[in-house]
Amino acid sequence: MPANTLKLRLASRALLVAPGVYDMVSLRLANTFGFEALYMTGYGTVASHLGLPDAGLATYTEMVGRVRSMAAQAAAPLIADGDTGYGGLLNVRHTVRGYEEAGASAIQLEDQEFPKKCGHTPGRRVIPTADMVKKIRVAVESRSSPDFLIIARTDARTAHGLDEALRRADAYAQAGADVLFVESPENIEEMRTIGARFDLPLVANMVEKGRTPVLAKADLESLGYRMAIFPIAAMLAAVHAMASVYAHLEATGSSVDVPASLYDFNDLSLLMGFQDVWDFDKTHAE
């Protein structure tokens, strides 16, 4: 995939929809729908890979490994959650270089204190604006290509109010960020204010039952957003279905009449690439 695909796409005012992918099954399935970008969710990736909360517990090494695996099979540009850059300025440089080399098309960096916490959850604290400005500048300097995008996220809204979040986003834009991400606006009016404030592409984080209203595509476009990420919608659906299956198995001892709709086993085998295995076996059968 050309490195500049995501950058060119965001030059359009039409909303770019990026579903959350959290493991290799969700990524391969998302590939089949022709999305123009995919979002490697930190929440979902940490949960699926480590079985832990997205609270600064995953290391750079663990996450860049996930980036590499996903980018290698992604059919669209992969936007990857880089948390706080996993430390200070030297860590940010190392993280940006590592994510770019691993094949991501964009990295999301946030201004939370380390250890960070997942957006839309309580207790998030932010570092001084000047410190995050330095991180953005280092991130921009560290990439090898301007087509690798730096997404600057501020979590200041929840604890410090919208005005502070807007001031921070202004500063991050001046520091060289390519895309701005004002996390957790709490109503449509706040989203409208954000959309009217900036010329750079804006990210809308659509978290079901989170702090921000989940809106239709046309509404997000009218508010000035150019990208909408849906980080955990697929994971919520998958966990709900799995809970139904496990409950039924525990109650009845069988999958007969399981209440969940099951994906066809043969289709899953094809999704995971077994046709190549079967073709190989035929070609090399003794």
Kindly give the residue spans of alpha helices, DSSP state H, lying in 205-271.
217-222, 233-252, 265-271
193-233 pLDDT per residue, tens = 999 999 999 999 999 998 999 999 999 999 999 999 999 99
Chain centroid to Cα 150, Å, comes to: 13
Q: What is the pLDDT of residue 117?
A: 72
Cα dist. 175→136, 140, 227, 231 in Å?
6, 8, 21, 26
Of 145, 202, 143, which is closest to residue 3 (Cα–Cα)?
A: 145
> pLDDT band at residue 119, thresholds of 50, 70 and 90?
low
8 Å CB contact between 230 and 19: yes
Q: Which of 2 and 94 is assigned the larger pLDDT?
A: 94
C-alpha count within 13 angstroms, C-beta hemisphere, residue 122:
0
Question: What number is the average pLDDT over the span 168-189?
Answer: 98
Kindly state the tokens that stand for 251: 């109650």
Instruction: Quote the CA–CA distance of 57 and 59 in Å, as a whole number.
Output: 6
Is residue 1 over pLDDT 70?
no
The proportion of the chain whose per-residue pLDDT surpasses 70, expressed as a percent, equals 98
Q: What is the pLDDT of residue 230?
A: 98
CATH code of 5-238, in short, is 3.20.20.60
Tell how strand 38-40 and strand 78-81 pair up: parallel
247-276 pLDDT per residue, tens = 999 999 999 999 999 999 999 999 999 999
Instruction: Quote the CA–CA distance of 86 and 60 in Å, as a whole number.
Output: 6
Q: Say if residue 128 is preceded by a cis peptide, omega within 30 of 0.
A: no
Kindly state the tokens that stand for 91: 């860590």
Question: What number is the average pLDDT over the span 136-157?
Answer: 97
Instruction: Quote the CA–CA distance of 139 and 92 in Å, as a whole number.
Output: 6
Instruction: Quote the CA–CA distance of 178 and 96 in Å, as a whole number.
Output: 14
235-255 pLDDT per residue, tens = 999 999 999 999 999 999 999
Kindly give the residue spans of alpha helices, DSSP state H, lying in 198-232.
217-222
- The amino acid sitting at 34 is G
Is residue 118 over pLDDT 90?
no
Q: Annotate 46-94 with three-state secondary structure.
A: HHHHHCCCCCCCCCHHHHHHHHHHHHHHCCCCEEEECCCCCCCHHHHHH
> pLDDT band at residue 2, thresholds of 50, 70 and 90?
low
